[in-house]
A and B are shown apart, each in its own frame.
Chain A
Amino acid sequence: MENKPLIIIVEDEKAIRDFLSIKLTANGYRVLSAFNGNQAISLATSHCPDILLLDLGLPDIDGMEVLTTLRSWSNFPILIVSARNHEVDIVRALDSGADDYVTKPFSNSVLLARIRTLLRNSSVRKKEKPSIEQSFNSGKLCINFDKRTVKRNGELVHLTPIEYKILDHLAQNPGRVITYIAICRELWGPYVNDNRTLRVNMANIRRKIEDNPADPQYIMTEKGVGYRMLDADEIK
């Protein structure tokens, strides 16, 4: 019993809290739930969860405030559950330390996949390995981080240095959304405000690694937020 990962759900809607806790318990997690921000903070402080699902619209204090308060002392993964798909809020939350997000209404399978990815990454984080993985391998697409090579169906793909850096950054964090700003800062330093160059590069990367660049299998566009490289086991 004690080995089951603990999830705290912060959500003011009872109906959503109910079905989430039923679904998550059925999938082998322990679940605690909080219905407002203050309760969430005290619950997280006393129980130190493995993951926390945070709704941004809470009755007492703003979800963003809960996020920054928690982030000031903790590093357990925080998954934002946003009611409205307002990209600005999501980007702000991600840049303030949230690890990922889903928008309402979400499908249960997507939510469970996100939770799995976050738990795996955080367990890797706990072991403090400097290099997470040696390679990204989905069968068709294979990225070797040491040799800095990309193979598609066994054939070497030629990427420009910038293109490789972008792909590398996304593939090192599989399953997680990386904001445009985060990628741009990683590549071009802190003073870049325009993500147009990044997006042209991404379009070119897709032309090289995807079968149909408009119908990507590996790198998904999160509208207005950033890009997400799918986890190797999520790729069909």
Chain B
Amino acid sequence: MEYKTNIHKARRNTVMTNLIKTIPILLTGLLLCEGMYHLGIEVNDINIVMLLAIFIISATTDGYWYGLGASLAGVLIHDYLITNPRMGFSLTLGFPITFCLMLLITIVTGNITNHLKKQAETAQEKERQAELLYQINRDLLSSRGKEAIIQTTLDFLQHYLEHSSLLRIIEDDSQKTYFIQDDDDFQKADLLSQQNQYLVEQYHIKDDDTEYGFLTVSLKKGPLLKNEQHFLHLLLSQTAQALRIEVLSTKQQQAVVAAETEKARTSFLRGISHDLRTPLTSIMGASATFLENSAEIPAATQLQLIRDIYSDARWLLNMVENILSVTRIHHIEIHKTEEVAEEVVGGAAALHRKQYEDADITIRPNDTVLFVSMDAILITQVILNLLANSRRHSGGKDIKNTIEIRDKADFIEFIISDNGPGINEASFRNLFKISEGPTGHSEDAVRGHGIGLSICKTIVEAHGGWIKAINLPECGAQFTFALPKIKETPNGE
């Protein structure tokens, strides 16, 4: 895996290895020749052995020089030792011919082997790059999220690049900077200023139309080798691809959420318009009657009309608070603060009492102080809706409510019960849903069937909690909603 170190070591060791190859082969060849001579084998055959030795040397070493050297030495030694006269140079007419022949063989062999070696090297390099590309690709694609992608890129840079460098990622409105191999403060300064373009080199991370960032490499440790440049291009283009895919998938998710929100909003608006129309009709009717016929209406009836207007206006106000609470939930995100549970419950009960002076609410707080992470205004709205709901479905009875706060393992539970007639079995299934249009007899008889409870559900679920309803064994309904407990972090956030 350590390609970069291999490259550097290889250059240094070439001469040594070539010499180690050349000398033994040459000596073996000469020894063989000597042996054959003693066995009385023909000189011509001996020459062939010598040729073979030269051929092997040329084929296994780099370049021509070892082959040339070996053939010169071989010819001289061979002439000196073997051809007549032994232990003396014959320097006959045949000598230069033999030498030229050997040279020719060396050059031709060298050429062929060099060519082969280069091909092998290219193939090896290509295989290495393919492997690297595969690795980069695999690691980047398995990284989820922008941070992970950048981290993967940083890991590769850390691993394969000796030079100090700086990676800068362009965010929507800011930039993030990462240093790689930053052992030197001067280099940091160089990289940051980018003034001296001879000391740094810049690579962009971009695809066709977007630039995601760039990499600045310090050239203090020498210029980038060709394969290093290639590696950087490869890595950075893959990073750009991965970032592009990430951006696209985020956009797609947002689009899905937006579509769902839009759908929910539409059905909510439909529900609320219906709920608003009823009290408005009654207010307009009562006040018009009063304006047009005040002379004929007895004082007691006049008062009754005004009282009706007041009560309908109060109902409208409740609606408006519900609408407002929905506007506080943006993209399922809410502004949560830590609140004391009993304070919120107490506050909601006080508000309910202000609206209905005859309200009878008992609160049972937990023994210890409980902090819950919530949007207090929204949770107050939930409690108000549940209280108003039990009042509206009282069936003419005087309603008594109890609110209990319970500390459970993962949730804080808020239990709101009443002593009313309980929930109609048929209503259970669609209890927390907005009624999607006229469903029959009860639509106008019990107004506001829809949005109050559905808003409760939306709000509680936006907090990561749940809501449920049951009928109590004797009489009355019980609504329980639970909000997740604050996770204790030892070092804060």
Contact = CB atoms under 8 A, between A and B. Distances in A.
A212 B377 contact: no
Contact of B363 (A105, A212, A220, A224): A212
B487 interface: no
A105 B324 CA distance: 14
B291 to A, nearest CB: 15
A196 B324 CA distance: 27
Contacts of A216: 346
Contacts of B365: 212-214
Contact of B342 (A84, A213, A223): A213
Contacts of A105: 317
Contact of A223 (B361, B364, B380): B380
A159 to B, nearest CB: 16
Contacts of B363: 212, 214-215
B376 interface: yes
Interface residues of A, number: 19
Interface SS of chain B: helix
B81 to A, nearest CB: 98
B371 interface: yes
Contacts of A200: 340, 369
A196 B340 CA distance: 9
Contacts of A124: none
A196 B338 contact: yes
A136 B345 CA distance: 27
Most A Cβ at <10 Å: residue of B344, B346, B376: B346
B139 interface: no
Interface in B346-382: 346-347, 349-350, 354, 361, 363-365, 369, 371, 376-377, 380
B405 interface: yes
A123 interface: no
B373 to A, nearest CB: 12
B411 to A, nearest CB: 18
Most chain B beta-carbon neighbours within 10 Å: one of A107, A204, A224: A224
B257 to A, nearest CB: 26
Nearest to A87: B377
A62 B350 CA distance: 32
B182 interface: no
Interface in A182-236: 196, 199-200, 202-204, 212-216, 220-221, 223-224
Contacts of A84: 324
A101 to B, nearest CB: 16
A203 B340 contact: yes
Contact of A107 (B342, B345, B354): B354
A68 interface: no
Given A199-B371, A215-B363, 6 more contacts: A84-B324, A203-B342, A203-B369, A204-B369, A221-B343, A224-B376
Closest 4 CB pairs of A and B: A214-B342, A214-B365, A203-B369, A214-B363
29 contacts: A85-B377, A196-B338, A196-B371, A199-B340, A199-B343, A199-B371, A200-B369, A202-B340, A203-B343, A203-B369, A204-B369, A213-B346, A213-B365, A214-B342, A214-B345, A214-B363, A214-B364, A214-B405, A215-B349, A215-B363, A220-B350, A221-B343, A221-B346, A221-B347, A223-B347, A223-B376, A223-B377, A224-B337, A224-B377
